[in-house]
Chains A and B, each alone.
Chain A
Amino acid sequence: MAVSERAILKSEIRWAWVVGGIVAVILGAILFAALSMGMNPPSNREFVDPKTLHLSSEFTEANLGTSVDPNGRIVARMITTQFEFVPNCIVLPADRDVTLRFASPDVIHGILITGTNVNTMVIPGYVAQVHTRLTKTGDLLMPCHEYCGLGHSQMLATVRVVPPEQFRPDSQGRVSCGDDR
């Protein structure tokens, strides 16, 4: 045979360099986003007992929704439960750092906000948390994206993203959608 196996393997190795290059470019871009913009998947090993969630202080019914901490941090807290979000609408400012915190008293849920990078699973037992900065305004849909039972399809919420100057907390630092949603 004119072409030795060694030559064949040499051409494979040449190709392997191409493959290595692709993998390196992808890893490089991922690392760049992680190092320069703090882009990570939403990890948060913070426990909360689903069986007594409604008795907890943070996720008590009256404390849900968007609020501004005394130190100026904007935090939105929501319950994902079979088969609705509580509250069903939250207000967030665009172009500001915001933190979303979710907890489930029953089964697994998951959320995303359409057209953004906000996405997390909500696992009973944990506080699911996403830090983000929203880049566009308007009423965005926030559906439950993980099968949570027969009412899963009707489980949706609204995220009202307003320009920063229209984001006006009340005296307790709270902002709500105002309507019944």
Chain B
Amino acid sequence: MASTIRVRASATGDTTEVQALIQHPMDSGYVKDAKGDLIPAHFIQQVTFECNGKSVFVADWGTAVSKDPYVKFSFKGGNKGDDLKISWVDNKGASDTTTAKIA
């Protein structure tokens, strides 16, 4: 199965711009299904971004982050070809990790 994480990381000069899109329902716990039952909250709580083993960004999310969440940030110090490791964990304990090369 393909990864739930899509990453674009590109270095321009000494700055690396990172965009990530993660496939996840991000159920808020306030929405009802077709039968009228509440869909329990199911959402990513934390996403960590590490470049060459060093933390460059941590996202703490609640249920108000959109379905298939997206985030964009930039950091200094990354070079083309460096490894960017992204991991998420949700409130049910599920998780996924991917490593992308900075382009």
Asked if A and B are interacting partners, one says no
What is the interface of chain B, defined by CB distance below 8 A to chain A?
none
